[in-house]
Structure 1
Amino acid sequence: MIRFLNVLSFILVITLSVVLYNVKYRIDAQEDVRAKLQQDILNEEDAIRVLRAEHSYLTQPDRLQALADRHLQLAPLHASQIATFDDLPMPPRDEDFFGPAGRQALGGYAGIAPSTGVQ
């Protein structure tokens, strides 16, 4: 009986050693993956900082004004270029909106009278 318990204990110790060894190396592998992901996150944060700095540089008002002056042929707006509502032409209006001219002006199915029978 004692030999059986010794053998069983020995097998249990061996099994637990193998399981512990396996778990340890799986944890090490997961820590490597975590460290790689952490490094990737840091790299992406650095890239975001660089892009924000580049965006800040590219959208400086003085730089944009110099580019506009160099590449666009813009002139200042004169008062004569500004129109009022009285200067704008009015769209044509049909006086007889519900008459035959009105139906043609509506176009589509809006100008067709409803039929009384099914064809």
Structure 2
Amino acid sequence: MFRTSDMVLIAVMVCAAGFTYITKHDAEAELSKVRKLEATIRFEEETIDVLKADWSLLTQPSRLQKLAEAYRDELHLVPVEAHQIARIEELPARPLRIEDIVGEDAMAGEPIDGVTTGGIGQ
């Protein structure tokens, strides 16, 4: 009634159907993961937008001005005057220390006679 070739073809069809089912199931699982990731990304993007809006609200100059006026006495705030702003050339040079040249690790925290130099050995 059934030949050997028929049995082989039926077995191949059953294997192909099983392979197709497994492949479809795996693809649907991966698609589900992708959708969850996309939803997470969308949520994070919306959170970032909300945080940017909050930051924009919190850093409004008018709000900061009101806060500065409200807490002026407690924080001892005073407006910056033009003579307080200096150029880099006007700043004093920082004295050069041995640790700056050699490195603090090499010095092992031991000062050399407490001597600092102004850039040239003194």
Which category of TM-score, normalised to the shorter sequence, fits these structures?
A: 0.5 to 0.7
* TM-score, with length taken from structure 2: 0.61
Q: Identify the residue that residue 26 of structure 2 maps to in structure 1.
A: 26
CA distance in 1, matches of 2:81, 2:47: 45
- Give the length in aligned residue pairs: 87
When residues 35 and 76 of structure 1 are mapped into structure 2, their CA distance, relative to the original with a 3 A threshold, is closer
Q: Identify the residue that residue 70 of structure 1 maps to in structure 2.
A: 70
How do 1:12-91 residues align onto structure 2 when only pairs under 5 Å count? Answer: 12-72=12-72, 73-76=76-79
Q: Identify the residue that residue 88 of structure 2 maps to in structure 1.
A: none
Q: Which has the higher contact order (CA 8 A, sep 6+)?
A: 2
Tell me by how many angstroms 1:20 deviates.
0.3
* TM-score, with length taken from structure 1: 0.62
Listed as ranges, the gaps of 5+ residues in structure 2 are 85-112
Query: Which amino acid is 1:6 matched to?
Result: D
Q: Which has the larger radius of gyration?
A: 1
Computed over aligned residues only, the root mean square deviation of the Cα atoms, in angstroms, reads 2.9
Between the aligned residues of both structures, percent identity stands at 30
Q: Which stretches of structure 1, 4 residues or longer, exceed 3 Å deviation after superposition? A: 75-79, 104-107
